[in-house]
Amino acid sequence: MAMRPIATTRQVTGIPTGRLATWWVIGSEIVIFGGLLGSYLMHRLVNMQWANYAAHTNTWAGAFNTLVLLTSSLSAVLAHHAASHGDGKKAARYLWMTMGGGALFVAVKAVEWTHEIQLGYTISSNAFWAFYYTAAGLHALHVIAGVIIMGIISVACLKNEDLHRVELIGNYWHFVDLVWIFLFPLLYIAK
Amino acid sequence: MAESVPAADVHAHDDHGHHEQSFASKYLFSTDHKMIAMQYMFTGMAMALIGGFFAYAFRMQLAFPGMDVPFWGQVSAAEYNALVTNHGTIMIFWVAMPVLIAAFGNYLIPLMCGCDDMVFPRLNRLSYQIFLLSAVVLIASFFVEGGAFGGAWTAYPPLSAKAEYSLTPLGSTIWVIAVALEFVAFLLGGINFVTTAMNSRAEGMGMYDIPVVIWMIVIASILFMASVGPLIAGAVMLVFDQTLGTNFFDPDRGGDPILWQHLFWFFGHPEVYVVLLPALGITADIMATFSRKKIFAYKTVLYTTFATGVLSFMVWAHHQFIAGVDPRMAHVFTITTLLISIPIAELCFVYIATLYKGSITLSTPMLWALAFLGEFLIGGVTGIFLGASGADVYFHDTYFVLAHFHYTFFPIAIIGTFAGVTYWFPKMFGRMMNETLGKIHFWGTVIPFNCIFIPLFFLGMGGQHRRIYNYENFPELAGQGMQDIRIFATVSLLVMLAFQVVFFINFIMSLRSGKKAPNNPWRANTLEWQTPSPPPHGNFGSEMPKVYRGPYEYGTPGREEDFWPQNAPS
């Protein structure tokens, strides 16, 4: 492995480069979801009958997933705490718990969607279901990506390498969490 | 090309440990910001040739309907649509963006900020690879069944969403995917640019010691990041409409085609400023250097640019005045659109004030910079007509609009690029360009450019609608007077394209046998000129520069030299 360029070691703002870049990533993600949810809201406000379609979504599954995702954020915080004390092994274990939460979230989603598709509510049924599957699907992709990245980071943690990354993936995971906090009421509760 | 330049006077100060690199690792998989900049630049230039060739083909069809166009053949109606669509798409997304932001950003940010590379070198390489893939995907759309997408670069549904309307079942999906890939590449690149400029500046370089061109590229990257998100979501929705049978944009089944226009222009209008700002930055640096004067009101330039950036998010619906938006909303957008001309006009005045009483050298880069100012002004002034919703109802979708935005984009993407390339060529390749050929190319480009587009304003005012394949079918537009103007514009285009050969001859001749460039041929202050031409791997050798002052200290009283490099201790 070649030596790192000097540019990668500088820190003029006082904020570590990785953290800075993660925030820029999150910023650009916010506008992606913002555009999607903004479009959904504009439609929802003028289409009263969408409340009838939304009545078919499974609020309990959504609520359970909210609980799962919020709990997984707790273990992400605990992983950061362990990493900031230099305990890579402990951080890795907490990251695995978070990954477990992410996996459970996706599994619940899969069961839920299978059921809905069997009932005939597919992505091409109407504009509400199109938004439902697109927005929740895009979010689920972010969950899956987060789990994969966390897996890579946890391997490095076991060797006590690059522990600062635990904080970065934690920030990302909180963001994914936050998107769900918007999706859950918009797609499941508002009926 | 870049490869043929011997790195002779480089004291191989290779901090990075690898002395013998294979061809692939040096030119194809390099993480060096200068090499990635060259990759972006040459890819952008190749795409410009394709985009220019498309313009040639469809302009020939307009001037001489039904003729056998040399090197293309008969232009069918479907081909005409595909050519126009992809001319626009290529020139904005695969020429203006990669050259102005990615090539100059990659080349200049680490050099001008006094560091050795970007903060994420491998992410940088990935960004270029995704960009190259996107270019290949776009070109591939010409070879699929049904041909390339022909629904205009704005891709309005339902035309773009349904194969039975667009008649390009594969082409339109491939088009959206190519554009989306390109966005991913520039998001990665943009995050890298912003983070590098924030965190990796040389010791002593404060916020207000950053050259204007770097500020402009950084602000442009932020604008891009903040505006492209809704369109990425929109692209996903459009692909689903095309392939999965969803109905986001289908009015027959509860969707809304205007939604796409909002998502597109919420990005599309800031995008104008995304490409404008780097061009403004390039010309600002050139004007200061060749007027031997400090930039007039450096901080005002920055504040004005911030204001432009903020306002650029509030003007998008002026593209939709006749798309059925509420007239009350049209008033609001008329006002914001007219407002945004204030900061831009202010920048023009700042540039003129920089020139005022300067010691001006009319070198080739300076000529390009001055032409940028003059031509962009025409684009800006004609924009006032279109920003006012009342006048726009008449002008909308005529050649007046077309001529207007070519008067903004041509100065940005072509004149701005030539200004930058001729100015930094000595640094990039270690050779001086030929000034005589450079000036022939300059006049041979700028005069025909005006001959192409000024007549089109008049055609537009005469009611000539855009996106028409053959005007012979429209009795009120088919008169010989109007046809003569079309022929004049097309002939001017041929002249302009012919003069580009001069540029390529100059480029290649200068690369092979141009005069060896000294470190600082223009006697400029910024850090990239304080290192060998071309800069070695690592840019500044073993000792990174320290910065003592701002970038525009020209003609300081009491100094023997009329310039004062940023890194000179006293």
Contacts of A165 (CB under 8 A, 6+ apart): A18, A153, A156
- Name the pLDDT band for B6 (thresholds 50, 70, 90): very low
Query: What is the per-residue pLDDT for B1?
Result: 35
Task: Give me the residue label for tokens 């990257």.
Answer: B221
Domain membership flag for residue B541: no
Q: ipTM of the assembly?
A: 0.94
Query: What is the per-residue pLDDT for B20?
Result: 62
Cα separation, B92 vs B88, whole angstroms: 6
CA atoms within 13 A on the CB side of B9: 12
Q: How far off is chain B from A45, nearest CA to CA, in Å? A: 13
Residue with the larger pLDDT of the pair B8 and A30: A30
The answer on pLDDT for B366 being more than 90 is yes
- Give the tens place of pLDDT for each residue, B442-477: 999 999 999 999 999 999 999 999 999 999 999 999
Cα separation, B446 vs B500, whole angstroms: 11
Q: How far off is chain A from B15, nearest CA to CA, in Å? A: 7
Kindly identify which residue of chain B lies nearest to residue A22, measuring between CA atoms. B191
- Give the tens place of pLDDT for each residue, A119-150: 999 999 889 999 999 999 999 999 999 999 99
What is the rounded average pLDDT of the residues B225-231? 95
Nearest beta carbon to residue B191 from set A2, A25, A31: A25
Domain membership flag for residue B197: yes
Nearest alpha carbon to residue A166 among A185, A176, A153:
A153
Query: What is the per-residue pLDDT for B327?
Result: 87
Collapsing DSSP to helix, strand or coil, B422 comes out as helix
Domain membership flag for residue B327: yes
Q: By residue range, what is the domain housing residue B280?
A: 36-515
Query: What is the per-residue pLDDT for B325?
Result: 85
- Give the tens place of pLDDT for each residue, B32-65: 999 999 999 999 999 999 999 999 999 999 999 9
Domain membership flag for residue B136: yes
The answer on pLDDT for B10 being more than 70 is no
Cβ separation of A5 and B121 shorter than 8 Å?
A: yes
What domains are there in chain A, each with its CATH number? 20-189 (1.20.120.80)
Domain membership flag for residue B548: no
If contacts are CB pairs under 8 Å, which of residues 503-542 in chain B contact chain A? Answer: 538
Q: Any idea what the CATH number is for the domain that residue B195 is in?
A: 1.20.210.10
Domain count, chain B: 1
Task: Give me the residue label for tokens 């191989």.
Answer: B12
Task: Give me the residue label for tokens 């002034």.
Answer: B381
Return the number of CB contacts < 8 Å for A and B. 144
* CB-based contact A134:A35 (threshold 8 Å): no
Put simply, whether B198 touches A (Cβ < 8 Å) is yes
In this structure, the dihedral spanned by the alpha carbons of residues B198, B204, B208 and B211, taken in order and rounded to 10 degrees, is -80
Domain membership flag for residue B238: yes
- DSSP assignment, residue B526? S
Tell which of B113, B194, B198 to mutate to test the A interface (max A CBs under 10 Å): B198
Query: What is the per-residue pLDDT for A71?
Result: 96
- A10 to chain B: which residues are within 8 Å by CB? 115, 119, 199-201
Query: What is the per-residue pLDDT for B84?
Result: 97
- Name the pLDDT band for B253 (thresholds 50, 70, 90): confident
* CB-based contact B200:B101 (threshold 8 Å): no
Query: What is the per-residue pLDDT for B16?
Result: 45
Put simply, whether B253 touches A (Cβ < 8 Å) is yes
Element containing residue B264 per DSSP (H, E): helix B257-291
Query: Can you name the residues that pair with B398 across neighbouring β-strands?
Result: B465
Tell which of A12, A19, A139 to mutate to test the B interface (max B CBs under 10 Å): A12
- Residues of chain A with confidence (pLDDT) below 50: 1
Q: How far off is chain B from A107, nearest CA to CA, in Å? A: 23
Domain membership flag for residue B188: yes
- Give the tens place of pLDDT for each residue, B500-535: 999 999 999 999 999 999 999 999 999 999 999 999
Q: How far off is chain A from B188, nearest CA to CA, in Å? A: 9
The answer on pLDDT for B265 being more than 60 is yes
Cα separation, B126 vs B108, whole angstroms: 19
Domain membership flag for residue B520: no
- Cβ count near B506 (within 10 Å): 22
What Rg value do the Cα atoms of chain A yield, rounded? Answer: 19
Question: What is chain B's mean pLDDT, rounded?
Answer: 93
Nearest alpha carbon to residue B101 among B189, B230, B208:
B189
